[in-house]
Structure formats: structure tokens, C-alpha cells
Structure 1
């Protein structure tokens, strides 16, 4: 399967402003790229990439005053397989976990484990550890939170999401991650592309998506409390403890988002890209993805 993906984003800066972007496909998917993957800026500016502590590609730049347009469009090969299911994947005792996994048991900015620990153990403690426990958590979160783009708020914690019972995909992920960590199941936040491939088309504007991964059975598995079923065509951009680690943009000064459009479409075998590699799109995002101002 071939997937065309990309974005068209614009910010207005009242003054020269340093910025970090996290908009590149994760290094583990680079070998699947079928076309160039390059962030284009208008006006042209100097930018450079580096890897953060979680292995994500970050792009540093200094934005000039005025409007800065940020675009990318690429085609990537995908297996076409749904998220893997392994019902016998067991939860490992904490003392058996690899050292580098332990960080994903700790509370973090949006995953306030200390506030939900008693609830987690009361509701899910009796359930067999591993896959079935995580599945029960996903079912609970999926049914507990009402999804709506108008519910987006980029500072909502897991405990607040649980109390308010509303949110967007990041809130589903934060709550599920937090409940897993409370039960000593390592869990990490993921952001990336997830188009309506193999499912009915969502009439809402397309956006980046958030899901999570858990470390059970000695490896990482993908779960999605918002959709709550296996999906096809996930393209990971970044992973971290929560959304604070994977903000798609961090500006070190005022920045006004003026345009945000994302595309993720299956490219049919008889289709080809236009000469500029783009299809027209004007959809605006309301999903509340992280735009940090330091």
C-alpha cells in the first residue's frame, strides 16, 4: 500500500523567533519513503535537524518576522496490515523490565499518575495482567470520554480528562497511558498520521493523530483508546512520555497559527502525484495538538 501524506502550516511571528518543529517521519520509517521527504519553508530560511532523547527528528530554525509557511508532501510504502494483536502478551514484573523502559512507568506533565492510582487498581487490578488488562483500560477510556474537536484544550491532564469526560485523541491517549502506568505497565505517547484507510471517511478536517504503545510480552504494541480497534496505515512521527515531549511546534516567543491542513490518503495504484507533489487542501485543524510557547 502507498500512502500520500503531508501538511500545509503557517504561523505569523511579530518578531524574529527561535522555533523547534517535530514534523518529520520517525527514523524507523525512513526506509519506507518512496519520494523525497523535505520540509519546505516560505520564505526560505536556514534549518537543521537533530535527534532528541527519545529518537525523534526535531528541526531547529529562526523564523523571521511576518508569515512563515511550512509544507511537506511525500509518499510512503505501508504494509497495509492492521495493528498487531497478541492476546497472550503478558505484563512483565517491574524488576524484569529493561532499564530504558522504566521512564515510561513514571508520571509526567499530562499523565498525573498520583491522582488516578487508586482508581486504576480498584477497576483493573483484578484483571489478568498484560493484553487483557490494557484492552479493558482502552474499553473504559473509549466509553468514558466523549470525543469532539470543540472539546480540544492543550493543557488538560489525564485526571482532568477523566473528570470532565470530554476531549480529543490526545486526551484518550493520556488517560489510557496514565491508567497503564498506575498498574506498572510501561506506556508511551505516539503522534503521527492516521488517515481514514479501511474505515468510513470522517467528515471532520483531517489532522495528526495520537495513540499509545505499551510494553508487554517483551516488546511494544500499539493501542488506540479513541478509535478502540485496530487500524491500518499509522505513520509515526514521534514518541515520548506524553504530548509535551512531542509538540509539533515549540516557539520561543509569540507565534500565531494562521493555517493548518493535514492530508493522509491511500494512493491508488493507478494514481500519480502532480508535478509539485501536492493535492489542494484547505481544511483547518481543531484537534488541539501541541503548539508550545516556551
Structure 2
């Protein structure tokens, strides 16, 4: 299966504004690209890439005063298989975890473990461990939060989402990540493309998606509290502790988002 994906994002800036973009496929997906990953700017401006501390490809620019449109496009080869389910995957004791996994047990900007620790242990501390525990957390987050795109908030933390019981895909992911960390399962936040391949209509407006990965049985595994079912065609862009680490655009100055469009389609010809 081949998937055509990309985005077009437009900003209006009152003055030259440095930006950090995370709109490229994750380096782990580069071998799957069919042809180059195209990134363009209108008007044309200098840009350069670097790899951050979490292994993501970031692009640095200085947006000029006025309107800037950022466009990306690529075609990726995909297995066409849904997310893997491994119900017997076991949870590690904290003392047996690899050093690099420990940071994903800690609280972060949107994953406020200090506020949800008692809740997590009360709800999930005495039940199954490993894969079944993560799935129970996904079930809870999926049923506890009502999806409402009109009530998206860039400042809502996991504890806020738990209390307000409303949010978008990032809030489902933040809540599930936080509850996993609280019961000693390393969990990291992911963002990328996820279309409606294999799903029945009607289809909602396309956007970037958020899901998460947990460390079980010596490997990282994909879970999705928003959809709460195996999906086809995920294309990872970035991983981190939470949405702060993987923001599509981090702007260092005032600007207005005036256009946003995401495309993810199966190539059928």
C-alpha cells in the first residue's frame, strides 16, 4: 500500500519570527518513502534541519513579516496492516527498565503525574499488568473523554482533561500516557498522520493525529486511546514526553495561524 500525505500551514507574522517546525516524517519512516520528502515555503526562505534529543527531525526557519505558507508532501510505502496486538506482553519492574526509558515515567508539561497518581493506582493498581493494564487505561480514557474539536485547548493537561471530560486526540493521549506512567509503565507521546484507511464513512476533517507508545517486553508498542482500536496507515512524525516536545510549529514571537490543511490518502492508481 502507498499513502500520499502532506500539509499546508499558513502564518501571518507582524515581524520576522523564528520558528521550529516538526512536519517531516520521523527518521524511522524514511526508508519507506517513495521518492523525496518535499518541503517548500512561499515566499521562499532559508531553512535547515537538525535531529532533536528525542530523535525527531526538526526544521528551523525565520518567518518573514507578512504571510508565509509552509507546504510538505511525500508518498510512503506501508504494510497495510493494522496496529499489532500482543496481549501477553509483560510489564517490566522499574529496576529492570533500560536507562533511556526512565524519562518516560516522569511527569511533564501536559502529563501531570503528581495530580493523577492516586487515581491511577486506585483504578489500575490491583488489576492485570502489562498489555491488559494499558488496554484498561485506554478503555477508560476513551470512554471518559468526549471528543469535541470546538473545545480544543493548547493549555489543557491530562488532569484538566480528566476533570473536564472533554478534549481532542492529544487529550486522550495525554491522559492515557499519564495514567500509564503513574503505574510504572513507560509511555511516550506520538504525533503523525493517520487517515481513514479501512474505516467506514462518514469521514471527519483531516488533521494530524496523536497516539502513544508504551514499553513492554523490551520493545515499544502502539496504543491509541482516541480511536481505541487497531488502525491502518500510521505515519509517525515525532515522539516525545508530551505535545510540548512534538509541536507541529513552535513560534518565538506573535503570529496568527491563518490556514491549515492536512492530507492523508491511499494511492489507488
Which residue of the partner structure matches residue 76 of structure 2? 76
Measured after TM superposition, the shift of residue 35 of structure 1 is 2.2
The 5 A counterparts of 1:213-232 are 213-232=213-232
SS class of match (1:3): strand
Which residue of the partner structure matches residue 89 of structure 1? 89
Which residue of the partner structure matches residue 162 of structure 1? 162
* C-alpha distance in 2 between matches for 1:226 and 1:16: 37
If the length of structure 2 is used for normalisation, what is the TM-score?
A: 0.99
SS class of match (1:185): coil
Measured after TM superposition, the shift of residue 112 of structure 1 is 0.3
Q: Deviations over 1:117-159 (max 9, x none)?
A: 1110111011121000000000011000001111200110000
* C-alpha distance in 1 between matches for 2:187 and 2:75: 29
The 5 A counterparts of 1:200-211 are 200-211=200-211
Measured after TM superposition, the shift of residue 43 of structure 1 is 0.5
* C-alpha distance in 2 between matches for 1:158 and 1:201: 30
For structure 1, list consecutive stretches of 5 or more residues without a partner in the other structure: 272-294
Is 2:267 the counterpart of 1:267? yes
Measured after TM superposition, the shift of residue 26 of structure 1 is 0.1
Aligned length: 269
Is 2:63 the counterpart of 1:67? no
Which residue of the partner structure matches residue 143 of structure 2? 143
Q: Would the alpha carbon gap of residues 267 and 254 (structure 1) be closer, same or farther in structure 2, given more than 3 Å must change? A: same
* C-alpha distance in 2 between matches for 1:259 and 1:201: 25
SS class of match (2:245): helix
Which residue of the partner structure matches residue 290 of structure 1? none
SS class of match (2:220): strand
> Contact (CA 8 Å) 1:10, 1:260: kept in 2 or not?
yes
* C-alpha distance in 2 between matches for 1:125 and 1:61: 46
Q: Would the alpha carbon gap of residues 202 and 30 (structure 1) be closer, same or farther in structure 2, given more than 3 Å must change? A: farther
> Contact (CA 8 Å) 1:196, 1:202: kept in 2 or not?
no
Deviant stretches of 4+, over 2 Å: 201-204
Which residue of the partner structure matches residue 27 of structure 1? 27
Deviates further, 179-188 or 65-74: 65-74
> Contact (CA 8 Å) 1:144, 1:162: kept in 2 or not?
yes
Q: Deviations over 1:231-265 (max 9, x none)?
A: 00000000000000000001110111110000001
Is 2:193 the counterpart of 1:193? yes
Measured after TM superposition, the shift of residue 201 of structure 1 is 3.5
Is 2:127 the counterpart of 1:113? no
> Contact (CA 8 Å) 2:39, 2:72: kept in 1 or not?
yes
For structure 2, list consecutive stretches of 5 or more residues without a partner in the other structure: none
> Contact (CA 8 Å) 2:196, 2:203: kept in 1 or not?
no
The 5 A counterparts of 1:231-246 are 231-246=231-246
If the length of structure 1 is used for normalisation, what is the TM-score?
A: 0.90
Is 2:251 the counterpart of 1:251? yes
Q: Would the alpha carbon gap of residues 51 and 202 (structure 1) be closer, same or farther in structure 2, given more than 3 Å must change? A: farther
The 5 A counterparts of 1:162-181 are 162-181=162-181
* C-alpha distance in 2 between matches for 1:203 and 1:99: 42
Which residue of the partner structure matches residue 285 of structure 1? none
* C-alpha distance in 1 between matches for 2:135 and 2:25: 28
Measured after TM superposition, the shift of residue 202 of structure 1 is 4.6
* C-alpha distance in 1 between matches for 2:244 and 2:232: 26
